[in-house]
Amino acid sequence: MSTRRIAYTGLFIALAVGLGFALVTIPNFEMVTATIFIAGWILGPGMGALVGFVAELIFSGINPAGSGFIFPPLLIAQLISMTLIGFVGGLARRGEIFFLASPVGVFGLGALGAIVTIIFDLLTTLSYPFAAGFNQTQIWVTLGIGALFYSVHVVSNAVIFAIIIPSILKAIHAQLGLTEVVE
């Protein structure tokens, strides 16, 4: 692994954690997911997954709103979700021209942002009811109560993925002269 790749990995982890803390007081708005996705896009699926895992472990572990270490099932759900998001970012790179060059691609990127956010929200929300032994009715009630929160989170991430990420990726590609995953 090159020194440049290690440096970019560390920078993406630091950026994700820093943005997480910077925006922690704004409900339903976060840039951790987008940052981890971009890391996967730039570094590839494997390193994107690593960035997602490490960044979420740090962010969740020392989060001022409550540490994930207090409730391991939640922490595990967060780690699985963010690892997946970094991996998906790397896979999405294969459709780079599609995502960055057309309105349909921008819509597709927004839809992908919504999908990964739904996965995150479902896994993290279901971590407590399953760990606590809730029955099916209680699980559905838990999901229903959180529906407003999830919908705002999903919409905000869809907008971030559709509007902000393409601009960031174009700038990164231009600045670094990228045609391939960072080696």
In a domain, 21, yes or no: yes
Residue 103's CATH number: 1.10.1760.20
The 3-class secondary structure across the chain, one letter per residue, is CCHHHHHHHHHHHHHHHHHHHHCCCCCCCCCHHHHHHHHHHHHCHHHHHHHHHHHHHHHHHCCCCCCHHHCHHHHHHHHHHHHHHHHHHHHHHHHHHHHHHCHHHHHHHHHHHHHHHHHHHHHHHHHHHHHHCCCHHHHHHHHHHCHHHHHHHHHHHHHHHHHHHHHHHHHHHHHHCCCCCCC
- What's residue 99's pLDDT? 58
Domain membership flag for residue 181 = no
pLDDT in tens, 112-158: 999 999 999 999 999 999 889 999 999 999 999 988 889 999 999 99
The answer to whether position 182 is within a domain reads no
Give the chain's domain count: 1
pLDDT tens for 13-49 read 999 999 999 999 998 899 999 999 999 999 999 999 9
Q: Please indicate, yes or no, if residue 69 is contained in any of the structural domains.
A: yes
Q: Does 183 map to a domain? A: no
Label residue 106 by pLDDT band (50, 70, 90): confident
The pLDDT score that the predictor gives to residue 97 is 53
Residue 48 lies in a domain: yes
State which residues form the domain around 81. 3-176
